[in-house]
A and B are shown apart, each in its own frame.
Chain A
Amino acid sequence: DVKVTQSSRYLVKRTGEKVFLECVQDMDHENMFWYRQDPGLGLRLIYFSYDVKMKEKGDIPEGYSVSREKKERFSLILESASTNQTSMYLCASSLWQGRGTAFFGQGTRLTVV
């Protein structure tokens, strides 16, 4: 089975902190994605990566950055956390031509206070 693992289920951080969300997949997938899920807004794409060191902005990249130094690991970075970044963060991975069949992690519930 494909496994996408996010490092934390729950995180509480203070405003202004630098926050790292880590995601690891074990199926040698080329593509990795970071989404956030908010009530009434669905899943919105923050960033995605189709190869090591390659990244593309999604629909809401402001306030975030990403890092992909190894194929299996994709990190989301909140440079200076703000309360409006309180959300459920979901990581996903897929094959290069997986035609949207992405596998998701269990999610990280981040609260910024």
Chain B
Amino acid sequence: DQQVKQNSPSLSVQEGRISILNCDYTNSMFDYFLWYKKYPAEGPTFLISISSIKDKNEDGRFTVFLNKSAKHLSLHIVPSQPGDSAVYFCAATTITGAGSYQLTFGKGTKLSVIP
């Protein structure tokens, strides 16, 4: 059963506009949420994160919003640039029995920013 869901496989946005990528989760034990960005033929790179005790985190053009009651988070990119075209993965962490954590990913959303 998929615990982190990204229901939109792809998204196209005009350059300069806002990109909104959505993510839903089912496990209430998740305590930290992250977004990763992946270009073809490269490994994912960390983009931005948010603790479950917050509802917003901002870093430059990137803002992540968390709605715990709805078990929903979103990534806003403003303004979108062609270099933002990539696959974006939503991820969440849970603490393991050994005291470390496990990182669970969604299926990803491919963002295309059109010049």
Contact = CB atoms under 8 A, between A and B. Distances in A.
Interface in A43-93: 43-45, 48, 50-51, 54, 56, 58-59, 90, 92
Contact of B104 (A45, A92, A94): A45
Contact of A50 (B93, B100, B104): B100
Contact of A4 (B43, B93, B103, B108): B43
Interface size class, chain A: 20 to 34
Interface stretch (B44-52, B55-63, B64-72, B75-83): B44-52
B100 to A, nearest CB: 4
A30 interface: yes
Contacts of A33: 103
Dominant SS among interface residues on chain A: strand
Nearest to A103: B46
A43 B46 contact: no
B11 to A, nearest CB: 15
Nearest to A4: B43
Contacts of B34: 100-101
Dominant SS among interface residues on chain B: strand
A56 B43 contact: no
Nearest to A109: B41
A50 B98 contact: yes
A48 B97 CA distance: 13
Nearest to B103: A100
B96 A100 contact: no
A99 B49 contact: yes
Given A43-B105, A100-B49, A106 B42 contact: yes
Contact of B42 (A35, A58, A97, A107): A107
Contacts of A35: 105
Interface of A: 4, 30-31, 33, 35, 40-45, 48, 50-51, 54, 56, 58-59, 90, 92, 94, 96-107
Interface of B: 6, 9, 32-34, 41-46, 49, 51, 89, 91-93, 96, 98-108
